[in-house]
């Protein structure tokens, strides 16, 4: 096969290491959710405010627009207060789904869990009804669909524990038709992880729901089941994690062809150090070196996955716990190994989001001196060496040509027997184009360096391409 030389341009304004870039929002607003609007702007929505001294704790409908470069934020208002809503960026806007709007015992029925969602677009929120209610779950967006893996739909305190009911259906929203459908989870479970590569989604682990409200110690069991949804064929398949892989509150992210499932809860105040890695065909297993914990959340920055914070959960409450961590385990998909960094402090009750070379964490909670303390920090991790770290691809099955180019690029994959997806990013990490064609026009792009990611036959190849 003919070889093409990829020219490397030094990008003077990029530092060659990764770093944290931290700022703050106006309030100590925790148990919120977070999503990127674009590479430089974040939306932080819902949660509860916490004033100095630990008073005036209210579920909020406030949302913060946070600009990463300036570290400045401004306030917006959703239509409804939402504690621990589910949040995901879709094709039609950012979806803020469910959440708790009142954590009093409402008419003897426990917390009020919302059966509404808000769609954020162009500076405003639109609220619509949805056919289910849930909070503290996960969702993914892929090819025009939003799929929600629910958390709880009922929570009521009694004596020394809580009555809970989990949302055990997977709910699927079609953005084009604006309609919902549902699918029962494999073994009637909730609190599963949710992860996608943009074409398939995997929902793994969780707690198996029994027939009546109950605390974790009254009959719930751990699940090792998973579902895989293939958006190209609109089909579902099921399976089980490798031996002894059952756990709840797993943190899961995808990067460069690998789905990585880390940590989780095994029982009341018992956590897992388990790591399961799926390459699209095979599973491998290893363990966290640093700690056993239910990792609070994860996000992708460039070609790294950050698994950050967490604790050992008190599953009597389905919330909170002990031994809060500030650890960040960084997964490198090229070596399938982990390195480590830290958050500003040990944290729980936060969420993370990804965009290009950046990952962001919303404000969280810690327990210095055994006192519940909420913070207003927004922590942004930037893999600023992402473009320069892309090695010139040695896989001769994939060729991008011409390079440099001033008009079009051709994508050639040798012996391909399936769909080829090409994504083009700028050096900040903004995804500019997605195509399944083998000839792609970039004539309208500005001159400069771009990252081209080609997904084929469960493999991912990355290239730097110069537009001149």
DSSP structure string for 97-125: E--EEE-S-GGGS-SEE--EEEEEETTEE
Distance separating alpha carbons of residues 338 and 261, to the nearest angstrom: 13
> CB atoms < 10 A from the CB of 68, how many?
20
Confidence of residue 181 (pLDDT cuts 50, 70, 90): very high
- Strand blocks (E) in 375-458: 377-382, 398-401, 408-413, 420-425, 431-435, 439-441, 448-456
Residue 7 has pLDDT above 50, yes or no: no
How many Cβ atoms are within 10 Å of 132's Cβ, its own excluded? 16
pLDDT of residue 245: 95
What are the pLDDT digits (tens) for 121-150?
999 999 999 999 999 999 999 989 999 999
Residue range 442-450: mean pLDDT, rounded: 87
User: 51 pLDDT band (50/70/90 cuts)?
Assistant: low
Predicted pLDDT of residue 448: 83
Architecture of the CATH domain 19-383: 6 Propeller (2.120)
Average pLDDT, integer, range 227-242: 95
Among 26-40, 55-69, 208-222, which is the least confidently predicted range?
Answer: 208-222
Q: In whole numbers, what is the pLDDT of the chain averaged over residues?
A: 87
Predicted confidence band of residue 369 (pLDDT cuts 50, 70, 90):
confident
The radius of gyration of the chain from alpha carbons, rounded to an integer in Å, stands at 22
Q: How far is residue 47's CA from residue 38's CA, in Å, rounded to a whole number?
A: 22
Give the Cα-Cα-Cα angle 76, 34, 275 (nearest 5 degrees): 175
pLDDT above 90: percentage of residues in the chain = 59
| Whole-number pLDDT of residue 120 | 98
Q: What CATH number was assigned to the domain covering residues 390-467?
A: 2.60.40.10
Q: Look at 157 and 74; give whichever has higher pLDDT.
A: 74
Whether residue 20 has pLDDT greater than 90:
no
What confidence tier does 12 reach under pLDDT thresholds 50, 70, 90? very low
Strand partners, 58: 49
Let me know if the fold of 19-383 is the same as that of 390-467. no
Q: For residues 374 and 363, give the distance between their C-alpha atoms in angstroms, rounded to a whole number.
A: 8
Q: What is the structure's pLDDT at 244?
A: 94
pLDDT of residue 356: 85
Looking at residues 113-121, what average pLDDT do you find?
98
pLDDT of 401: 87
292-326 pLDDT per residue, tens: 999 999 999 988 999 999 999 887 777 778 899 99
The band of 255, judged by pLDDT with boundaries at 50, 70 and 90, is very high
Strand partners, 381: 20, 359
Mean pLDDT of 209-217: 62
Length of the chain: 468
Q: What is the pLDDT of residue 221?
A: 86
Any idea which residue has 């960026």 for tokens? 89
Distance CA 98, CA 95 (A): 10
What is the model's pLDDT at position 386? Answer: 67
**Percent of the chain's residues with pLDDT above 70:** 90
**What phi and psi, each to the nearest 5 degrees, are found at residue 218?**
-105, 25
Give the model's confidence band at 464: pLDDT under 50 very low, under 70 low, under 90 confident, else very high: confident
Mean pLDDT of 219-224: 84
The domain locations on the chain are: 19-383, 390-467
Of the two residues 215 and 285, the one the predictor is more confident about is 285
């Amino acid at each position: 096969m003919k070889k093409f030389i990829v020219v490397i341009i030094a990008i003077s304004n990029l530092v060659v290491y990764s770093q944290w870039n931290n700022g703050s929002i106006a309030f100590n607003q925790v148990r919120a959710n977070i999503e990127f609007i674009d590479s430089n702007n974040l939306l932080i929505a819902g949660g509860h405010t916490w004033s100095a001294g630990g008073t005036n704790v209210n579920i909020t409908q406030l949302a913060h627009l946070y600009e990463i470069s300036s570290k400045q934020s401004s306030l917006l208002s959703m239509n409804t207060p939402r504690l621990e809503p589910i949040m995901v960026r879709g094709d039609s806007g950012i979806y803020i789904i469910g959440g708790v709007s009142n954590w009093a015992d409402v008419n003897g029925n426990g917390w009020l869990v919302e059966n509404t969602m808000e769609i954020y677009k162009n500076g405003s929120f639109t609220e619509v009804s949805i056919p289910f209610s849930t909070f503290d779950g996960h969702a993914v967006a892929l090819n025009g669909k939003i799929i929600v893996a629910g958390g709880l739909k009922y929570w009521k305190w009694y004596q020394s524990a809580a009555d809970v009911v989990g949302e055990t259906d997977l709910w699927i929203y079609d953005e084009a038709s604006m309609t919902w459908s549902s699918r029962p989870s494999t073994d009637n479970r909730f609190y599963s992880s949710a992860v996608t590569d943009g074409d398939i989604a995997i929902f793994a682990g969780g707690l198996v729901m029994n027939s009546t409200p109950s605390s974790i110690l009254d009959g719930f069991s751990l699940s090792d089941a998973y579902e895989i949804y293939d958006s190209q064929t609109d089909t579902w398949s099921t399976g089980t994690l490798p031996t002894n892989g059952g756990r709840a509150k797993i943190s899961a992210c995808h990067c460069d062809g690998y789905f990585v499932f880390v940590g989780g809860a095994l029982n009341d105040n018992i956590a897992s150090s388990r790591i399961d890695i799926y390459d699209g065909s095979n599973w491998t297993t290893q363990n966290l070196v640093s700690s056993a914990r239910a990792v609070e959340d994860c996000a992708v920055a460039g070609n790294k996955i950050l698994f950050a914070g967490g604790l050992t959960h008190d599953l009597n409450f389905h919330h909170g716990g002990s031994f809060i961590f500030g650890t960040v385990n960084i997964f490198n998909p090229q070596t399938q190994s982990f390195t480590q960094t830290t958050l500003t402090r040990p944290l729980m009750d936060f969420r993370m989001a990804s965009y290009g070379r950046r990952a962001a964490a919303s404000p969280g909670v810690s327990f210095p001196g055994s006192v519940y303390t909420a913070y207003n920090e927004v922590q942004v991790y930037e893999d600023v060496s992402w473009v320069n770290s892309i090695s010139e691809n040695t896989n001769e099955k994939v060729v991008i040509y011409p390079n440099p180019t001033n008009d079009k690029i051709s994508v050639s994959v040798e012996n391909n027997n399936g769909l080829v997806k090409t994504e083009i990013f700028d050096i900040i990490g903004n995804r500019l184009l997605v195509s399944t064609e083998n000839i792609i026009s970039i004539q309208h792009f500005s001159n400069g360096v771009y990252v081209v990611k080609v997904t084929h036959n469960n493999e991912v190849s990355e290239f730097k391409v110069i537009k001149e």
